[in-house]
Each structure stands twice: as C-alpha cells, then as structure tokens.
Amino acid sequence: MTERLDADGPCPVRDGFSWPAEWAPHARTWMCWPCRIEVWGGPDGILRARQAYARVARAISTFEPVSMAVRPHDAAEARLATAAKVDLFEVPLDDSWARDQGPTFLRGPAGGRAAVQWRFNAWGNKYHPYAEDALLATRIAKSVDARVYDAPLVCEGGAIHTDGEGTLITTEQCLLNVNRNPDLTQQDVEERLALFTGARRILWLGEGFSDDETDGHIDNIACFVSPGRVLVGLQPSKDHPDYEPAREVVRRLKAARDAEGRSIEVVEIEQPRVTRRDRGGRILQASYVNFYLPNGGVVMPAFDDANDEKAREAIAACFPERDILQIDALDIVEGGGGIHCITQQEPASP
C-alpha cells in the first residue's frame, strides 16, 4: 500500500532546506571503510579495496578533512592505511558505499544544516544484512548535530544528482524499479524527491543500462558540472549494451530545460575503450563520470585505459580552476562502484 505524505508533517522544503550542488563548499568528506568481504571476492580483494579507499582518502585530505566510518575492530588498520590523515568515526557497518548509505546533507536558513535519511534496502535487497547501513545516515548526521529528516522513499545517494538550483537528474531504471518503490508512481517519487531535496524539476534519463548492481545509478552515467551543463559518459563501441541508453540520455537532456528554464548544454566524454568484466563475468562499470569534487579539486578515476588522459583533459576543461588528481580505481570498481560512490560531502557552514 502506498504511504501517504502528511501535508503537515516535517520535511526539509517546508523548513527552508535544500540540497546544494557538490561544488559548493564542504566542511568535510565522509567515507566508509570496506568490510563486506563477499563484495570484493575474498580476503585478497578486500585488501586491494582497502588500499584503494585509503589512496582516495589521502588524496581528498589534501583538499579538505575526511571522516571515515569504520567498524571498531577495523579502526587500527584504517588509521595505518590512511597514514592518520583522516578522522575515524567508529560505528557498526554492513558495507562501504558512503554515497548510498550516508546522509544527503542539506543547507537551510542562516546556513543551518540538515540531512535526509533515505530508506535503504541494499540496492533492492541484493545484500544481507543491511540493518546497520539503514541507520548510518542518521548516525552520521547526529554526530555533526544536523537535523534528520526520514524520507518515505527507498533511494540511494548515487541515484540522484543536483545542480543546487532546483534541478535533479535520475533514472527510471533505479527509482521506479520494483525492487525499490513498487507501490509508488512516478508522480509519487517526484513528490517525495521535491519535498526532501528542494528539487523543482526532475529529469528522468532512462533505463536499459547494464549496471544491474545499482540498477542504473545516475552518478555512473551523467552529472552536473555547473548549472545548465551536464557531463554524459558515452560508450565508444556500438557493441557495448550502454551505447544506445547513453545516447538516449543525451537526447533527453538536449530536449529538456532546467528548473530555471534554461536549455541544457551537454558535454560528452568517451568512456574507457576496453570493456572489462568482473570476477563473475559481468561488465565492469568503469565510468569517468564517477568522480568527486572536494574543495578546490577533482578526484577522478583512471582505469589503465587509452582514454584515461583524454578523460582527464575533458574533466579539467569543465573545472579549470580546480586541481585534478587521477587515481587508479579498478579495485574500487570491482566492488560495484566508483570514487563518487565511496564519498559523501558534508556542506560547510557560512
């Protein structure tokens, strides 16, 4: 049965909060130390993942503070691997994708901060247990004295992206999936997104992507690089199953207008030339779009691919005033996500 929204119930928009763009100033970055061994294929895989997460954390720490959520018995290892360059937040964890498990932080009146606790069901009940991860957003938010809003919507942070001016992008493949919100219509989902992020226009960018781990998270497909400007990753080979879905994203964006009534400029970036597969034979979801924007910088992936430098130049052109750090991300992608997936920004106070 569809849960009705209480017209008088607490929600961020009614209280003056909205979701700022990722390029707005941060107080810190949140990450989670890898802990679910099955995601990485065993002890060797999780060791490589932890080393990769540590590289990302150390890189971000050159731009802004990093807080790492970590299970208490993993704290010593995390401290050593990150060279004590991050603050540790000891807390129960089931998995390690801060973008999806963590809070969506909001800014409000007089610079106040709040956070959305989405309903988390481990990407459509793909992993168990996930009870601790379903509480992580609230635990993080309370640790920084941010007000918590419980949203009546199954959603992950990687499923949505904003320009900070009222436009939100997402995919039908994820948020309208029967494993997320089977009792909600598209209008129901839009209403909840609007009330809990401040979105005034939601652009739906399709389905049919090969990413069945997250069911088409937008942060692997497209992202705003400034208001009115969206970067889209295109597959170079027509044989790739995402070749046509990504081009449909371009078509939809070019036909759309944002919340301010502007037409949208599409910046195209070519994804890795080599299509790799994970240990289970699935296409490895390597995407240059899956980068992160710490204060004054861009931390983006490299995949030991001929297109790595070309992608670096394209993203540098989108952010000419930021320093670019490119980090080998193959060991992260093996677990089903990328650099953006393992990070979550906390906005700065004025």
Residues annotated as catalytic are: 341
Neighbours of 319 (CB within 10 A): 18
User: In 235-295, where do the E strands start and end?
Assistant: 265-270
Cα(333)–Cα(206) distance, integer angstroms: 22
Cα(281)–Cα(205) distance, integer angstroms: 27
Going by C-beta distance under 8 Å and a sequence separation of 6 or more, which residues neighbour residue 136? 32, 69, 91, 93, 101, 102, 120
Going by C-beta distance under 8 Å and a sequence separation of 6 or more, which residues neighbour residue 217? 156, 158, 159, 171, 174, 211, 341
Phi, psi of 172, deg, nearest 5: -65, -35
Neighbours of 128 (CB within 10 A): 8
Angle at 106 between CA 35 and CA 157, to 5 degrees: 40
Q: What is the 3-state secondary structure (H, E, C) of 65-116?
A: CEEEEECHHHHHHHHHHCCCCCEEEECCCCCCCHHHHCCEEEECHHHCEEEE
Per DSSP, 194 falls in state H
Which of 320, 200, 174 lies closest to 262 in space, CA to CA? 200
Q: For 164, how many CA atoms within 13 A lie in the half-sphere containing its CB? A: 15
Cα(317)–Cα(63) distance, integer angstroms: 19
C-alpha distance from residue 63 to each of 32, 188, 328, 342 (Å):
18, 39, 19, 17
